[in-house]
Structure 1
Amino acid sequence: MEQHIAISIHVPKLLEWLISRRHCKNEWQPEAVKIRAKINVAIQDMPANETIASLLSGTYINYFHCLKIIEILETTEADSKNIFGSYTSKRMKDWKEIVSLYKRNNVYLAEAAELLINIVKYELPNLKKLISKQQQLQNDAKKKETEALKSANTARNDLNSFLKELGLDTGEGSYKKRLVANALQLHATHEKVASETKLILPGLEHYINFTALSLPHHTVNLNLIKYIAEKGNTTVYEFIHGEVPTQIITPPPVFSEDEPEETNEDTIDWGFDEVNASLEAQPSTTIDDNIDLGFEEENNDNIQIELVDPGEASGKESEEVKEEKLSDKVARGDKALTIFENSQTRTNFINQLLELNSFLKMRLFDARKEGPNDDLVESVAGLEDMQKSIESVTSLLLSKTSQHFYNILFLPK
């Protein structure tokens, strides 16, 4: 019973306790070095066994590994066992010798105590730190996942509300074509704005007359409103140059209604199929030694060289360029867009509407407070009608739906 009594020993002092109780010698390390040398020699000649290979791969081989190796060798070296029960295999003899050297003076106890001290003192604290760090990373990943899900739900709700605002269903599937098709309604809105701009002219005339009366040296520059009221939503080219272009080359649309449906985003199209198809479509060609440059054979004796004065040549060229410029009435790029499609002229038109609306608000305020005090007599009802016509046109352009449609068609970014 006394042999099984538990002894409480502080782990860092385990090796000292073994040496002080004379279970191990104080000079056990030189003997352990000799044993390590024998182990390094023995592992050079080992049978092909997966268990042994896993034991020897990157592991510090100690006494307990040696016992496991002997246990495996009893199976692999069974053919070398003689009638007396001993093994004639050199492998078995080497490892049994290593185990006997470990047991001599209890070297294996000292080595095991040192390994246990290193594990408790160094490896376990490092593992605790690593576990704590991994748990922190795991918690951070969960928080990021939760935030990402919230952001995804918020974005989905915003998208659904945006689609409802534009009159689109929020069902699953590609909504790109439906969105572009609805955005094309903006053209009808622009035509309506152009037709209702004519109703603004009385307010514009009142603004011009009032400014001429109160500020004679100041001129009102709201020509864009007057132009649209007279000629409608024309191209920017016609507005700038005052003439209708012979040809209009509009910029390519941002979205095309004929675009294919979106495919799986997880797959990447490298374009190899198109390259292979183009290569297969090209017919095989043969190289002809006789290259036809397109010149007909003529008699060299009939060639005549005409000398031309450089000044006359340059004059002819400049005249041709001028004629081409005069005849070139092609609207390209932003000039091919209409006034309401071009961002610059659209903004300019809106600013002019806001300026005119602000003036009429001030006139209404003065008329309601003091009454007309100048030669331009306008009733309050007349001023209100002028302002309502301006606000009607402004609301058509500045409504959320119109702004969304404009951004979809012309400002996708």
Structure 2
Amino acid sequence: MQQDVENLPIDIHFNKLLDWLIDRRHCKQQWQAASLIVREKINAALKDMPENEELAKLLEGTYINYFHCEKIVEILKGTSAGEKNIFGQYSSQKMKDWNDIIRIYEKDCMFLAETAQMIMRNVTYEIPALKKQIAKCQQVQKECDKKEADYVSKAAELKKKYSNSCKELGIKGDKIKSELAALVQDLPKVFDDVATRTQQLTVALKYYQDFRSFLLNSDVQDSDCLPMLRFIQQKGNTVTYEWKHGCKPVHIQEASVVIDTKDEDDVVVEDGADIDWGDLNGNTNEVNVDAEIDFDISGITIESGGTDEGKGAIDIEVEQLGEEIDWGDTEVESTQKSSVSDEGTATGEEALTILDNPATRNLFLDDLVELEAFLNQRLVDLSGEGNILASSQFQNAPASIQIEAKQVETMATDLRNIIAQLTSVQNQHLMLIRDSPRYVERLKDTLKSTLTLADKMIFYQKETISRRHDMEKEERELLPKLEVLVKRTKEMQKQMEGEISKRYKNRPVNIMGEINII
């Protein structure tokens, strides 16, 4: 029976190991004072260590304890430091220092208390902290991969947006103001072409007039039916003075449009351009690469440039990437102010052509839209189940209004082409530039803001890559430390189990708890 008791294992939880040793008087409760003395002696002894590969490997990446000191003494015995004098004592001061350290450790079994505390600290704090840091590095790497893909996608979208906007404006985008200024010079040719193409609408205009005359049972005078469209068909894109006064001016004083293109830099689009954005929070002029950066881009909305009338080339909403840009007054300011002119002399607005003058151009567009609405309604009537021409109301209608839907569709197509040419995105912007030369500066800034955002996306991408590399490097450095710490903790566990077993007649000793699953 006594033999069975002696073979029973001793199970000690690692977290209670130090208390267990003190309670059973294997070491004193005031062991910390001796431990501080040992630490000082170890630090002093380590400064004068011989060059030895085995010693370097033993001391690398670990906290020196009693069992390390024993191994150091064994290694030193095989070197010149292990030589003894004629009295059988070590002549080397190194050996004396390390033997002195071991004697302090063994007094009152202080090394048992210190090793127990090391095991508790490693299992409870050190190893979990390293694992947590490694897991954080891995998580940040995954987030950086996702953010990098987002930044690449956003930068590509913004550059495509810039390219599409320039394409709609009819420019390359290298020198925006100069290219727009060149296009403005061609605007009169566009107006003349539109005026020439209105001759295609003669049949549609006659159709509209006859239809009105038939329904109203009266002769509609030319001046009552789309007067601006009819005037341009007859006179062409003449000056506004002739439209207002009914005669050509003797002299025309037209103010020229001046667009300042001096000192305009080339707009350069480069992938990965090195740009110093400074502190994104506006505090300093430096960017802290090591700090954790949250490049959230959820507030950036990219809308593709449209071709609807009155829609700008670029609409960008920025919520997270800087202050809102104040473009000032965005209303079109006409520099061509009308003035009192001498008799027979066209000045100010009267010196502008009808399609170049915003007021008369809108009247012309109104006539086109009115005619388009009429033709669209006629198409609906003619393509319905009951053809309106078959009704009794139109049996006595003139042949000029009893036409097929195909002919009306041809008229409507020609009309839509003219409206599309006059209201295209490119021409809309050119007209705004013509009416207000300051608009070209705002348009340039709006276009360049798209490239600025694209450059920021590239900057954020590079910062994300740099941060991911830092996390990869940190993980590579932490993994060996964790491996060494786990290995040394397991060694101390076995050494402590052996030391305790010696004091209990070699009974098996098991240190239990989380130490077995680290």
TM-score by length of 2: 0.44
With over 3 angstroms needed to count, the CA separation of the structure-2 counterparts of 1:130 and 1:10, relative to structure 1, is same
Q: Is the 8 A contact 2:70 2:102 kept in 1?
A: yes
Please give the secondary structure, in 1, of the residue aligned with 2:90: coil
Q: CA deviation at 1:196?
A: 1.1
Which string of whole-angstrom CA distances, capped at 9 and with x for unpartnered residues, describes residues 151-209 of structure 1? 6777899999x69x99x9xxxxx96569979x969856554322111333554466568
1:344 and 1:265 map into 2 onto residues whose CA distance is 47
Alignment of 1:218-233 (within 5 A): 224-226=228-230, 228-230=232-234, 232-233=236-237
Please give the secondary structure, in 1, of the residue aligned with 2:256: strand
1:238 and 1:157 map into 2 onto residues whose CA distance is 46
With over 3 angstroms needed to count, the CA separation of the structure-2 counterparts of 1:214 and 1:19, relative to structure 1, is farther
1:86 and 1:383 map into 2 onto residues whose CA distance is 120
Please give the secondary structure, in 2, of the residue aligned with 1:248: coil
Q: CA deviation at 1:269?
A: 10
1:268 and 1:390 map into 2 onto residues whose CA distance is 52
Q: Which 5+ residue runs of structure 1 have no aligned equivalent?
A: 169-173, 271-323
Match of 1:398 in 2: 420
Q: Is the 8 A contact 1:368 1:380 kept in 2?
A: yes
Q: Is the 8 A contact 1:247 1:329 kept in 2?
A: no
Which string of whole-angstrom CA distances, capped at 9 and with x for unpartnered residues, describes residues 224-274 of structure 1? 5345435545789998999744331144579x9x9587567624599xxxx
Match of 1:248 in 2: 256
With over 3 angstroms needed to count, the CA separation of the structure-2 counterparts of 1:226 and 1:390, relative to structure 1, is farther
1:7 and 1:237 map into 2 onto residues whose CA distance is 114
Match of 1:192 in 2: 193
1:38 and 1:113 map into 2 onto residues whose CA distance is 16
2:400 and 2:235 map into 1 onto residues whose CA distance is 28
2:73 and 2:158 map into 1 onto residues whose CA distance is 65
Aligned match for 2:118, one of 115, 118, 140: 115
Match of 2:376 in 1: 361
Please give the secondary structure, in 2, of the residue aligned with 1:247: coil
When the two chains are superposed, the root-mean-square deviation of aligned CA atoms in Å is: 6.5
Q: Is the 8 A contact 2:354 2:361 kept in 1?
A: yes
Alignment of 1:140-155 (within 5 A): 140-146=143-149
Q: Are positions 1:32 and 2:39 aligned together?
A: no
1:178 and 1:60 map into 2 onto residues whose CA distance is 66
Structure 1 residues 12-21 or 61-70, which shifts more? 61-70
Q: CA deviation at 1:337?
A: 9.3
What code does the residue aligned with 1:360 have? L
Which string of whole-angstrom CA distances, capped at 9 and with x for unpartnered residues, describes residues 202-221 of structure 1? 544665683994899xx979
What code does the residue aligned with 2:117 have? E
- Does 1 or 2 have the higher relative contact order (CA < 8 Å, sep 6+)? 2
The percentage of counterpart residues that share the same residue type is: 29
Q: Is the 8 A contact 1:249 1:330 kept in 2?
A: no
With over 3 angstroms needed to count, the CA separation of the structure-2 counterparts of 1:253 and 1:33, relative to structure 1, is same
Q: Which 5+ residue runs of structure 2 have no aligned equivalent?
A: 1-7, 278-338, 383-387, 434-442, 448-518
Please give the secondary structure, in 1, of the residue aligned with 2:273: coil
1:81 and 1:97 map into 2 onto residues whose CA distance is 16
Structure 1 residues 106-115 or 36-45, which shifts more? 36-45
With over 3 angstroms needed to count, the CA separation of the structure-2 counterparts of 1:200 and 1:336, relative to structure 1, is same
Match of 2:273 in 1: 266
Q: Is the 8 A contact 2:35 2:110 kept in 1?
A: no
Q: Is the 8 A contact 1:193 1:393 kept in 2?
A: no
Alignment of 1:302-313 (within 5 A): none
Aligned match for 2:140, one of 108, 127, 137: 137
1:385 and 1:192 map into 2 onto residues whose CA distance is 24
What code does the residue aligned with 1:248 have? S
2:228 and 2:75 map into 1 onto residues whose CA distance is 98
With over 3 angstroms needed to count, the CA separation of the structure-2 counterparts of 1:85 and 1:44, relative to structure 1, is closer
With over 3 angstroms needed to count, the CA separation of the structure-2 counterparts of 1:43 and 1:177, relative to structure 1, is closer
Q: Is the 8 A contact 1:357 1:391 kept in 2?
A: no
2:359 and 2:108 map into 1 onto residues whose CA distance is 97
Q: Are positions 1:378 and 2:400 aligned together?
A: yes
What code does the residue aligned with 1:354 have? V
1:39 and 1:237 map into 2 onto residues whose CA distance is 103
Please give the secondary structure, in 1, of the residue aligned with 2:193: helix
